[in-house]
């Protein structure tokens, strides 16, 4: 990428800190406002920050604050919106009856417990007393 435009950037001759401090925000934006390479700077920062959420963007570039760039990135489809959180347990297959997991689910939900689940639970308990682990019963 051709970066000759950076030689014409107004901020080259300014204290870089003004672009990263709240108290000098207006000064930074004014500098960008009179900068001849603002368009190039804008595309460069958008490319550099591609895919980043607002928390990972910092400073004023092309007169835009991190939040403004993040919004523009979303509008341009450059940032994936965070996936909607699935409700707990969604998409997970329920344990079938006759397993200890199903037994515990019945218990948790206050459901009546069928014989198959009672048996699985009892077997698990026996294995546990025998070996100190219920994994043995389920591994077989
Ligand atoms: S527009 Fe970009 S290159 Fe120009 S002064 Fe602002 S930050 Fe620097
Ligand atoms: Zn059951």
At 128-139, the pLDDT tens digits run 888 877 665 454
Ligand 1 atom with the shortest distance to the CA of 10: 5
Phi and psi angles of residue 53, each rounded to the nearest 5 degrees, phi first: -80, 170
d(CA 16, CA 10): 11
* Ligand 1 pocket test, candidate residues 17, 41, 64, most atoms within 8 A of CB: 41
The reply to whether the predicted model has a pTM over 0.85 is no
Rounded average pLDDT per 10-residue block, the chain, 140 residues:
88 95 96 97 95 92 96 86 66 86 94 95 85 61
The closest residue, in CA terms, to atom 7 on ligand 1 is: 61
**Ligand 2 centroid, distance to 49 Cα (angstroms):** 52
Enumerate residues 6+ apart whose C-beta is below 8 A from 94: 102, 105
Does the beta carbon of 64 sit less than 6 angstroms from any atom of ligand 1?
no
Residue 104 near residue 124 (C-beta atoms within 8 A): no
Residue 50 near residue 43 (C-beta atoms within 8 A): no
At 97-123, the pLDDT tens digits run 999 999 999 999 999 999 999 999 999
């Amino acid at each position: 990428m051709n970066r000759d435009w950076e030689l014409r950037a107004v901020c080259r001759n300014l204290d870089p800190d003004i672009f990263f401090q709240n108290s000098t925000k207006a000064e930074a934006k004014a500098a960008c406002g009179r900068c001849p390479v603002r368009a190039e700077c804008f595309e460069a920062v958008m490319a550099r920050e591609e895919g980043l959420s607002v928390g990972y963007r910092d400073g004023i570039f092309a007169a835009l604050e991190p939040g403004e760039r993040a919004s523009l990135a979303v509008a341009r489809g450059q940032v994936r919106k965070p996936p909607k959180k699935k409700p707990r347990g969604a998409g997970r297959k329920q344990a079938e009856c006759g397993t200890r997991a199903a037994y515990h689910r019945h218990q948790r939900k206050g459901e009546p417990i069928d014989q198959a689940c009672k048996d699985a639970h009892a077997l698990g308990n026996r294995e546990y007393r025998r070996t100190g682990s219920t994994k043995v019963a389920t591994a077989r």
